Structure 1
Amino acid sequence: MEVENQQPTKGVKPPLESEVQDAVDQTGFGKFHYKLFVICSMVFMNTGLGASSSGLIVPAASCDFKMRTEDKGRLTAAPMLGMVCGSYFWGCLADIKGRRTALLAALFLDGCAGLTSAFVPNYWVFAFLRFLNGFAITGQSAMIFPYLGEFQPKRLRETILCWLEMAWTAGIIMLPLLGWLIIPMTFRYTSENFSFASWNLFVLICSLPALSFSAVLLFFPESPKYLFEDSQDHRAMQILARMYAENSGKPAENYPVKFVRSGGDPLEAKLAVVSNDGLISPVKIKRRKKLLGKMLGDIVKHTMTILRPPYLTITLLTSTIQFAMTAAYYTLMSWFPELFRRFAEFEKENPDSSAGICSLSFVMPVANSTTVDVVDEFGCETKLQGSVFLYTIFLGLACIPTSVWLPLCIGRLGYRFFLVVSTVFPGAAAVGLFFVTSSTQNLIVSCIFEALTSMGVSVVYCVLVTFYPTHLRVIAASFSALCGRSGALIGNLMFGYLLDLHCIVPIAVVAGLLFFGAALTFFLPRKAKLEKTDSTPVMN
């Protein structure tokens, strides 16, 4: 059976992006997408576990590593430094080997580094392994949105990606629950050069999800959009036919699309719909050899593309907003458990007194001025109060309403509305930290901050998937991640060094960054305007 291809309008060359998106839309939405969403949610949940774990590990490991506040700051900053260094690496790997391969490598590295760090007795080796954890986590968080998004029908992509926020919320709820169950245990195995306590077990268990999810991901395919870009047309068509069969319950050969690549230009392509009574087999195209030098050249080329019109405005705005939001979010998120611990200790020692966050650092040493307590400056005789874990759980629970609100309403309210809400109100909450005088007040303000900023970070990733075509999407996500993680690194180092010396400065900086990000949001172009400037981006 022969089917005549529809000819494009004279003088207009149909981009591969829109043609392939039509082919993805023809697969429908069903069983395959549900399974894919589950595994992608598990991966994103793991990033929530990994990104938040330092907040519980640092106070628990303080005695074993003899950490002062600046040491804690370095340890919480180590994963952030890894995230900065890994941002572009994973983008390069995803373009050379594919999104799925990059995700598998990131998960495996995360699991192995976490597993090894559970048995390391040296502070600096442990910090290096935490660096590797951060290096791997940024690969998961940057790749999961493009990978999941490239399988989705155009009409549902934005909503499906927003539902991933619920997985992040599940991760930051599970983490303190797991910590509360394990860290207060009193067991400890000690030998001459080795020690294994409850917090080591906590680190070990936190490493297992990454290894488990990497094994499950082996059963899922590569992004068909990436495969088309890589000239692996036959393999891409097999995946699309599999998606169609799982979603519709019909035989794969009934998939109503064929792909024919014509001409020497790899982006010149046509897709034709055929009847269900026959399928023209897709032409198998010889895969282009991917030389590393050429691929690195393409990375530089694509980076320069997103830094030139018509993408320049979007790139600069989204990257700066990402810097502001991620710096604020990861800085306070990593230090909330430490602040909860300080309030809990102060209120235990001074039940009839009150103190603000900035005065705790000065009040506590006065209250603990005995010789015994000076010896215990690393907290060896201090156990984490149950309220620290409970309050950290409340932080996660506070994210549930926003995690549901975002995917249900983003289609009506738009991404700009959510970005403004995710910056203005958390900025006000950061200012409110100056006025809290009890652990309860601190908890309320922290929950507002956590719920809204975590939502905003996900919105930025959704915007990136929406505004860039396949061949630029990963680079744009990597560039944005590089900016965001750089902000997180700077913020954590700043907080660790200044919290006990000039407490007002880091909190004021966090609030200022969020208000600055809110102002930039109003300069983001509307979708309609972007479509007029260039027809390549895929817009919802």
Structure 2
Amino acid sequence: MGLDFMDSTVSDYENAIVQTGFGKFHFLLLTVCGLIYLNTAIGITILSFVLPSATCDFDMTSRDKGWLTASPMLGMLIGSYFWGCLADTKGRRVVLIATLLLDGICGLLSSLSQYYLLFMIFRFFNGFGVAGAMGICFPYLGEFQPTKYRENILCWMEIFWTFGIIVLPGIAWLVIPLNINWNSNGFIFHSWNLFVAICALPSIFLALWLFMFPESPKFLIETGEIDEALEILKDMYAKNTGNDRSSYPVSSLKEKERVSIISLKSNKPVRALSIRRPKELKILLAEIWEQTKALCRPPHLYNTVLTCAIQFGLTSSYYTLMIWFPELFDRFELFENEHPELSASVCEVSSIVVVNGSVETDFCNHTIEDSVYWHTIIIGLACIPTSFWLPLCVHRLGAKFFLVFSLVVAGGVTIGLYFVVNSIQNLVLSCIFEALTSLGISTVYCVMVDLFPTNLRVMAAALSLTFGRGGALLGNLIFGFLIDLNCVVPVVLFSAMLFISGGLCLLLPSTGSQALD
């Protein structure tokens, strides 16, 4: 179809996005969305190094650590659906900015917290913000992509998550061993506090960078703002091709019939997140309720139930074990230093720092061994092969293959954790577990972009994330309560969750070949 002919016609969105070309704009967008995803990896796993570092500052038992790791998961549980609803009614970009600012500010405040309860409250709000960023960055990125490249581009996000898993222990290794012990009038600031503050800064920088990017034109078309969507497409065309905006070969866009009941947007309200009148709040709640009902009835009910169940099983296992791995490495290191001639399972070693429910005095005087940081970096490095394998082979093997393979094998590896007898065996299985489950997490997000239409896409992702965070919350509580008592129970439970999720993935429809609705 010639460009001259296209200039006199009304184009659908798929053709319009193809006409913008594929170049600089898309790579910049992938970079910022990838860094947001990298940042969420840091935000979710940061407590893995806070647990052993702040044990004595907060006088934490394993049960206290379970509650602490559960607090951001509770925030994510509540925040997932809240932010998803706003993103499907107010816009992707503005909500992304709000979530990043909330995460960054609360992260800085948590670094200054002097009390366990206050620290836990701020980490709750960190989780509340991270949930929105994680749930929205995939749909936001995907809606700018032509069908030909969409699944592949989304799969490249996995490599950013992997870099986040590598970067976090690197920052921790540089900062936490520093001899920082500032005590002024009862205000105490140690190296782990500085570590938390440093990890909060990228969220604020990314929020400011997002102001330079446009709203999703697909969302604008869905809400009736055709002219604004066309202007954004022209800007994309100019940035990708280097040509003048006026030479963009599409003169007008087809307006899709609205599915949602009422648009809250009038001219430019997508720029502001506030709801200024009770009437607007009532309309927003009505919109959310209508979209929720749409997800919970045919034709979307099947996909909604499947994705929620898969997320619950996968996320409960992944986030629990990933957060507790450095703690387990630290306990193995302590055990092997004290008993170099003995070997023991992870369950036997796991009770080393707790005696009758209180923290051992000797544990308060030890620093995290360098091997703990190095082992955690190795786990991240182990994810690199699978991070490249996914985008390079997803079109040939299909997203469903990656989901089933990663979850079933990860379930078998989780069972194997019970049988390890030294830190090296624990490290090897942890690497395999992390590589496969992180692959599964990213693939689920990629699949969901194709499974749901624009007006329900973020909310569907948010609903599934809500179930996933519920599983992570439950998993961290269970692990914290049972790690010193009977750790075989969580090991069996998490492996079963992964096997079930892998089986459910077989029921998902094939994705990656259709244009976005």
Q: Same fold (TM over 0.5)?
A: yes
Q: Is 2:160 aligned against 1:178?
A: no
> 1:308 corresponds to which residue?
297
Aligned partners of 1:26 and 1:49: how far apart in 2? 37
1:399 is matched with: 383
Q: 1:37 to 1:3 in 2, by over 3 A?
A: closer
Given the alignment of the two structures, is residue 441 of structure 1 paired with residue 425 of structure 2, yes or no? yes
- The structural deviation recorded for 1:301 is 1.3
2:243 is aligned, of 239, 246, 250, to 250
Asked whether 1:339 is paired with 2:317, we answer no
Alignment correspondent of 1:113: 106
Inter-partner Cα distance in structure 1 for 2:410 and 2:316:
13
Match of 1:190, SS state, is strand
Report the alpha carbon displacement of residue 259 of structure 1 after superposing the two structures with TM: 2.3
1:168 aligns with 2:182: no
Q: Residue 132 of structure 1: SS of its match in structure 2? A: helix
- 1:320 aligned residue (309, 316, 320): 309
Between the aligned partners of 2:77 and 2:354, the Cα distance in structure 1 is 35
Q: Which letter maps to 2:178?
A: M
Q: How does 1:338-487 map to 2 (within 5 A)?
A: 338-362=327-351, 376-377=360-361, 379-487=363-471
Contact residue 218 and residue 229 of structure 2 kept, 8 A:
yes
Deviation digits for residues 110-145 of structure 1 (CA, Å, limit 9, x no counterpart): 110011111110110100000011111111100000
Code of the residue aligned with 1:302 in structure 2: it is: Q
Contact 1:62/1:378, CA 8 A, preserved across alignment: no
Cα separation, 2, equivalents of 1:382 and 1:31: 50
Distance in 2 (CA, whole Å) between partners of 1:2 and 1:170 is 45
Which of 10, 35, 42 lines up with 2:28 in the alignment?
35
Q: Is the CA contact (8 Å cut-off) linking 1:230 and 1:287 kept in structure 2? A: no
Quick one: distance in 2 between partners of 1:467 and 1:299?
19
Distance 2:351 2:249 in 1: 71
Task: Give the Cα–Cα distance (whole angstroms) in 1 for the partners of residues 398 and 368 of structure 2.
Answer: 42
Change in 2 beyond 3 A, CA 1:242/1:187: same
* CA-CA distance at 1:405 after TM superposition: 0.3
The one-letter amino acid of 2:492's match is A
Call closer, same or farther: CA 1:297–1:135 in 2, change over 3 Å: same
Q: CA deviation at 1:379?
A: 3.1
Evaluate the alpha carbon distance shift between residue 527 and residue 161 of structure 1 in structure 2; reply closer, same or farther with a 3 A threshold.
Answer: closer
Q: SS state of the match for residue 141, structure 1?
A: helix
* Structure 1 unaligned spans of 5+: 8-17, 268-284, 532-536
**Residue deviations 1:38-68 (CA, integer Å, cap 9, x gap):** 1111111100111111100111011110100
Unaligned runs of 5+ in 2: 260-265
How many angstroms does 1:78 deviate by? 0.8
Aligned 8 A contact 1:232 1:287 in 2: no
Give the Å deviation of 1:382.
1.7
Percent same amino acid among aligned pairs?
Answer: 48
Deviation sequence 1:362-409 (CA, Å, 0-9, x none):
56668xx9xxx9874483212111111111101100110000000000
Report the Cα distance in structure 2 between the residues aligned to 1:208 and 1:286, rounded to whole angstroms. 33
Q: How does 1:59-138 map to 2 (within 5 A)?
A: 59-138=52-131
The CA deviation at 1:19 is: 2.2
Tell me, in whole angstroms, the C-alpha distance in 2 between the residues paired with 1:515 and 1:63.
Answer: 37
Shift of 1:514: 0.4
Residue 296 of structure 1, CA deviation: 2.1
Are residues 311 and 170 of structure 1, via their aligned partners in 2, closer, same or farther at CA, if it must alter by over 3 Å?
same
Q: Is the 8 A contact 2:310 2:504 kept in 1?
A: yes
Matched, 1:506 2:499: no
Alpha-carbon separation, structure 1, partners of 2:456 and 2:40? 23
Q: Corresponding residue for 1:209?
A: 202
TM-score normalised to structure 1 length: 0.88
State the aligned residue count.
501
**Which residue does 2:262 correspond to in 1?**
none
Instruction: Confirm whether residue 159 of structure 1 aligns to residue 152 of structure 2.
Output: yes
The answer as to whether partners of 1:231 and 1:286 remain within 8 angstroms in 2 is: no
Letter in 1 for 2:176: I
1:346, 1:364 within 8 Å by CA — same for their partners in 2? no
Is the 8 Å Cα contact of residues 224 and 239 (structure 1) preserved in structure 2? yes
Q: CA deviation at 1:307?
A: 1.6
Between the aligned partners of 2:142 and 2:127, the Cα distance in structure 1 is 23
Q: Is the Cα–Cα contact under 8 Å of residues 394 and 447 in structure 1 kept in the other structure? A: yes
